[in-house]
Amino acid sequence: MASTRLDPIDRKILAELQADGRMTNVELAKRVGISAPPCLRRVRSLEESGYISGYHADVDAHELGFEVQVFANVGLASQAEADLSIFENRCRAWPLVRECHMLNGEVDFILKCVAPDLSSFQSFLTGKLLTTPNVASVKTSLVIRQAKDSPGVPFDVLEERLLKRA
């Protein structure tokens, strides 16, 4: 397990930054119980090692007028690697597609889409997604409300697993 290479302070740094990526290095150091210079060195090391892949703002889609969120289950006619890559590249180019995950099972991909309104999503669906070569089926589910949105990983579960192994 990759997390075993991290010590408890590194894991605490990751947990704190995952919860609030805007805190100052001084505040982060205080929260994890070390001084600021080694804390900054550790953060930079975590970034360089790939444990931290980036930072972003949690933007409120509704405040910006994006009222519609839809999950689209997409089945492809061919699952050859080249065809999968072509579809993934198309998804990356579509602004309304915010997440694209390849799945095993009945569907090949699930897409998380956001749109300002239903007609905008319908235009995307009928004008782009359904007309894409190799797309065999699309089933959509409109999000009524969101009960939870917790990006990242559950660090408390990670710590429990590591304690059991010790």
Which CATH number covers residue 136?
Answer: 3.30.70.920
Residue scoring higher pLDDT (150 or 117): 117
Domain count, the chain: 2
pTM of the predicted structure, to 2 decimals? 0.86
Same domain, 135 and 70: yes
Same domain, 73 and 114: yes
Give φ, ψ of 92 to 5 degrees. Answer: -60, -30
Same domain, 121 and 68: yes
Same domain, 71 and 51: no
Same domain, 69 and 121: yes
Number of separate helices (H) and strands (E) present in the chain? 6, 4
Residue scoring higher pLDDT (26 or 164): 26
**What 3-state DSSP class applies to 67?**
coil
Residue 43 structural domain: 2-57
* Residue 62 in this model has a pLDDT that exceeds 80: yes
Distance CA 15, CA 160 (A): 14
Query: Do residues 98 and 113 touch, judged by C-beta distance below 8 A?
Result: yes
Say which CATH number the domain at 31 has. Answer: 1.10.10.10
Same domain, 9 and 79: no
Same domain, 132 and 85: yes
Query: Do residues 116 and 67 touch, judged by C-beta distance below 8 A?
Result: yes
Same domain, 131 and 71: yes
pLDDT band at 1 (very low <50, low <70, confident <90, very high): very low
DSSP state of 77: S
Same domain, 75 and 134: yes
The mean-pLDDT minimum among 2-16, 60-74, 108-122 falls in: 2-16
Report if residue 164 sits inside a domain. no
Same domain, 96 and 128: yes
Distance CA 70, CA 97 (A): 9
In this prediction, residues 29-39 reach a mean pLDDT of 97
